[in-house]
Structure 1
């Protein structure tokens, strides 16, 4: 059995990620981890794209936040069954460690090295109607986007003070939202286990990260700086310092995509009046996970497809045809034994916000047709 890698002590985080050379300790962990990766049968993109030449080129590099290659790949080194295996430790990582990130992003998002992210275009939400007016298949609809606040790293390099600062900024920004966006901020610190579990069970609140996020150092200082904002109807929510600095989302029962999307457009417009976000000409909005770049839009439904899901290989093939991603309703890496799945647009980079919604809307329409016709 492969020996587990020692956990990084992350001294640089205690020193607020000061600049400097990669430490001997980190280099030793990188060398040990890379040897373990090469000797494994890992299916991850990390293994395919982190060649010895690229590894040797990047292992000494650091961003101005102090992030090293280890901060970006430690989850993939620890979890050899990862699909991607790479996270950005701060926004600069996409440039500093580009020989690794670029080919992963290009393959995952089906973009070319010369492509640039189109300008934001939310389009007309009224274009989208109700996917399932009779309520036979779609249980709920959710549309979310991620945002990074300028001046801060991502989780692996964030200090406890960083988490508190972001939480404080967002409490102020969310204080006077208009109309049906108005609500309350609820910090995880001090929240009872019973209240937390009820919010989790109702699919409103996030849980502490899974093993992939734990290994990426995405759950340090938990639950400091983490929390959830929601309006009275719980149709507009914001997660503070979960995977990303912000996850802004709108959700409601049933399949009315247009209503849900319209509310998100209004929410994002209000928040960005008060907070500056990090963007890139090539990758759009920069996020912790490279799968969430571009618009960062994830439009999803919880949908009952008991017939299609009897043959998961065929179901995945069909979903892939429409650029849809299948997850369990408990989130990524979860199962759905009851035939209810979370289906969402897979592509977020190289498209506008409107195009992301259109791809999801048309794909789910075809999935419903297929479920109706399945025997």
Structure 2
């Protein structure tokens, strides 16, 4: 019932232009409304951010990895449109970036005229836990315990520094934000 309310709510929301609004139909709701992933995610979890933030460009979040498969009728057209036609039937090219391939990489700006900086950012979720939209306080605590434990390994390949949000100094927080390792507060999406 709540899902149908959101469908009609979107129909009336003239200032909303999200991909969720464009691709959420009554047929999609009817097809997906009773589905639940192994970790308990529902269609409502998928669309909750887009409903709460009508100015969102996309409007959906995957609550867990299984959501991409279970809620495929909604995710696939949104992902395809967002990525300019790269559909679910297409695959990324095979990649072999072993250390023996480094010499094959060419300098994209050999004269240093155009590229000031670049970065690659990766994020990972822990297997067996939902993604952020469905994480509980208990999930966060368990994950924090696991990550802080793993950062303490003496093996240089695994060793790291764990920065807990609680108790972090403002200077450390600012530096981590400036270095793009920590999201700044206030990101409502």
Contact 2:24 2:74 in 1 (8 A): yes
- Taking structure 1 as reference, are residues 56 and 153 closer, same or farther at Cα in structure 2, changes over 3 Å only? same
Q: Secondary structure at the match of 1:168?
A: helix
Q: Answer 1 or 2: higher relative contact order, Cα 8 Å, separation at least 6.
A: 1
The equivalent of 1:36 in structure 2 is 9
TM-score by length of 1: 0.44
The equivalent of 1:122 in structure 2 is 97
Contact 1:61 1:68 in 2 (8 A): yes
- Taking structure 1 as reference, are residues 111 and 177 closer, same or farther at Cα in structure 2, changes over 3 Å only? farther
Please state how far the C-alpha of 1:163 moved relative to its aligned partner. 1.4
Unaligned runs of 5+ residues in structure 2 are none
Name the structure with the higher strand share.
Answer: 1
**CA distance in structure 2 between the aligned counterparts of 1:163 and 1:111, rounded to whole angstroms:** 34
**CA distance in structure 2 between the aligned counterparts of 1:100 and 1:78, rounded to whole angstroms:** 18
**CA distance in structure 2 between the aligned counterparts of 1:165 and 1:115, rounded to whole angstroms:** 36
- Does 2:138 correspond to 1:161? yes
- Taking structure 1 as reference, are residues 113 and 139 closer, same or farther at Cα in structure 2, changes over 3 Å only? closer
1:185-236 deviations in whole A, cap 9, x for unaligned? 2211210223212332343422235122xxxxxxxxxxxxxxxxxxxxxxxx
Please state how far the C-alpha of 1:176 moved relative to its aligned partner. 3.1
1:249-270 deviations in whole A, cap 9, x for unaligned? xxxxxxxxxxxxxxxxxxxxxx
The structure 1 segments of at least 4 consecutive aligned residues displaced by more than 6 Å after TM superposition are none
Please state how far the C-alpha of 1:98 moved relative to its aligned partner. 1.2
**CA distance in structure 2 between the aligned counterparts of 1:96 and 1:171, rounded to whole angstroms:** 32
TM-score by length of 2: 0.80
Contact 1:34 1:77 in 2 (8 A): no
The equivalent of 1:304 in structure 2 is none
- Does 2:153 correspond to 1:178? no
1:158-192 deviations in whole A, cap 9, x for unaligned? 1222112222222333333427x854222112102
The equivalent of 2:87 in structure 1 is 112
Unaligned runs of 5+ residues in structure 1 are 1-26, 213-375
Q: Secondary structure at the match of 2:128?
A: coil
Residue among 49, 60, 63 paired with 1:89? 63
